[in-house]
Amino acid sequence: MGDDEELLSRLSLKVTAKHCALLVIDVQNDFAATGGFFHQVGADVGHLQRDVIPSINRLLQSARRAGVTVIFIKSYYDAQYLSAPMRERNARLGMTMPRCLAGSWGAEFCGVAPVDGEAVIVKHRYSAILGSNLRDVLKVRGIQSLLLTGIATDTCVESTARDAYFLDYYVTLVADCCGAASAEDHNATLPRFNRDYGLVVNASDVMAIWEGGDTPESRAREDVSVAN
């Protein structure tokens, strides 16, 4: 990088439609629906259903109006995709219950859905970057900056953000559009993400920019670095 003018140094620059993509990660029945895998192992899916998914949908509607690229990510964890370390981890934690099997109810999106023209990327690891065609999609569309939403904040969302950051993408976590198995897991991720990778904001911060434009008022709202 050269001088500061080349940096996307404000949220309003990071979310500009021409180079920003909104990622919706793993909002699937097995992670968010009553009766899914997360619910059966004791996660608070009620919070995901009441708060996180409606927030994601509001952000999706705003992104579409603003012409921002939207990309959906889903996991398939069929047996042929599980490595030996993944199987060992599942066995060690007593979490061998199948989840997100291709073609199953558990793998279907939960409360969110792509519209025509929105890419759906399938992954088999926490990170949506590893072993998928996401990088190709981003390159074709000229994307430099990623807005991250979905489940779970501390695993698949953060892992995707880490790998993207290491590949020189700007990453911004939309805190109220993410959720985890517990509030503790979610909340522990936010300050670390802000320190090590990128901004942590709320959906309202992003939507205010998309819907109000890059004005002095919107720039004044960009002083918050960690969402509360």
The two three-digit tokens of residue 43, written as one number: 């996660």
Residue 156 known to be catalytic = yes
Spatial contact of 179 and 55, defined as CB atoms under 8 Å apart: no
Options 20, 123, 177, 178, the catalytic residue: 123
DSSP letter assigned to residue 7: S
Spatial contact of 124 and 76, defined as CB atoms under 8 Å apart: yes
CB atoms within 10 A of CB 111: 16
**Nearest to residue 146, comparing CAs of 215, 226, 201, 220?**
201
Residue 136 known to be catalytic = no
**Nearest to residue 150, comparing CAs of 68, 48, 21, 65?**
48
Q: How many residues does the chain have?
A: 228
Residue 44 known to be catalytic = no
C-alpha to C-alpha distances, 166 to 23, 161, 163, nearest whole angstrom: 17, 9, 5
194/225 Cα distance (integer angstroms): 7
Options 20, 100, 110, 156, the catalytic residue: 156
∠ CA(31), CA(106), CA(28), 5° rounding? 45
Options 14, 20, 26, 178, the catalytic residue: 26
The residues assigned a catalytic role are 26, 123, 156
